[in-house]
Structure 1
Amino acid sequence: MPERLSFAGLPGLVGAEVAVSGWFTVGQDRVDAFAEATEDRQWIHTDPARCARESPFRAPVAHGFLTLSLLPAMLESALVIEGMRMGLNYGLNKVRFPAPLPAGSRVRGRWTLGAAEPIEGGLQLTWDVTVDSEGGTRPVCAAEFLVRAYA
């Protein structure tokens, strides 16, 4: 069940973890579809047999950008902002992929509001998001995700 927050109350939540998404499965089928969509078919992502022989991970790993592309869906599954008419992806600041994400894993995002700065008609929200894999010891992604939110 997503957290429910008020648009007007967002500035008061800066520095707080406000939501955790549900789990998203990143199966080999999703990795392969992403490889086709982006034309990034590097064997480390798409060839389980070769990965078993040659990769230090012994299995295919998801593209870092695939993990990153799940951020909007994770945020939407985790949070409803009442009074927000529309939100736009404004970009990213820092992005890191501290650990590989083996195909077949489940991931979820932890959302901390880093900033809520006024803009014309709304707020620019800086979300500090950490993406964890189920059973992992380190995050698979850490990023500052910028959203322009309009009331």
Structure 2
Amino acid sequence: MSQLTIGSFEDFEKYIGLELGVSDYHKITQEQINQFATATLDHQWIHTDPERAKKEGAFGDTIAHGYLTLSIVPYLWGQVVDVQNLRMMVNYGIENLRFAQPVLVNNEVRLNANLKSVVNLRGTIKAEVNVKLEIKDQKKPAFSGVLVFLYHFQ
């Protein structure tokens, strides 16, 4: 993985329509799924009961919460792009998010990011990034959508 460094609006602008990069793979473990269930109070058995999931579930094992896979985006995004000279960054929104297939326990996932657009809004930079959470050895991504970030540079 080669991390891209961005330090200004002009740096972002050069990558409109281009791939920004791909993160390393991250393995989703049962421990991580259980911790997410505890944090979100979502203890549905398809996530937290491996024995029942193997016997009764549609996927043959436990699956990660869709929102767990979404919540690791900041970690993976930080591997793709190093935004420097930053005063503040705000997660502004997610557009057209679609969960395409479940992430089974012990699957490895990575973020693939492409810059859709970047706009200077009176000094606040609005970046729209097309993302896919790819599952190792799978054709369909776990999800795809457009992440919208607001960057305030120094």
TM-score norm. by structure 2 comes to 0.92
Provide the aligned C-alpha RMSD in A: 1.3
Q: Which residue of 1 aligns with 2:31?
A: 29
- Deviating above 4 A after TM superposition, structure 1's stretches of 4 or more consecutive aligned residues are none
Q: Deviations over 1:89-131 (max 9, x none)?
A: 1121111110110011111000101110112323101111000
Q: CA deviation at 1:18?
A: 0.9
Q: Which residue of 1 aligns with 2:51?
A: 49
Q: Which residue of 2 aligns with 1:94?
A: 96
Stretches of structure 1 lacking an aligned partner (at least 5 in a row): none
- Stretch of structure 1 that moved more, 20-29 or 81-90: 81-90
1:110 to 98, 109, 112: 112
Alignment of 1:1-151 (within 5 A): 1-7=2-8, 8-151=10-153
One-letter code aligned to 2:123: G
One-letter code aligned to 1:44: I
Q: Distance in 2 between matches of 1:68 and 1:142?
A: 10
Q: Name the SS of the counterpart of 1:10 in structure 2.
A: helix
- Stretch of structure 1 that moved more, 75-84 or 86-95: 75-84
Q: CA deviation at 1:28?
A: 0.5
TM-score norm. by structure 1 comes to 0.94
- Stretch of structure 1 that moved more, 23-32 or 79-88: 79-88
Q: Distance in 2 between matches of 1:25 and 1:120?
A: 40
Stretches of structure 2 lacking an aligned partner (at least 5 in a row): none
How many residues are matched? 151
Q: Distance in 2 between matches of 1:147 and 1:74?
A: 15
Q: Name the SS of the counterpart of 1:147 in structure 2.
A: strand
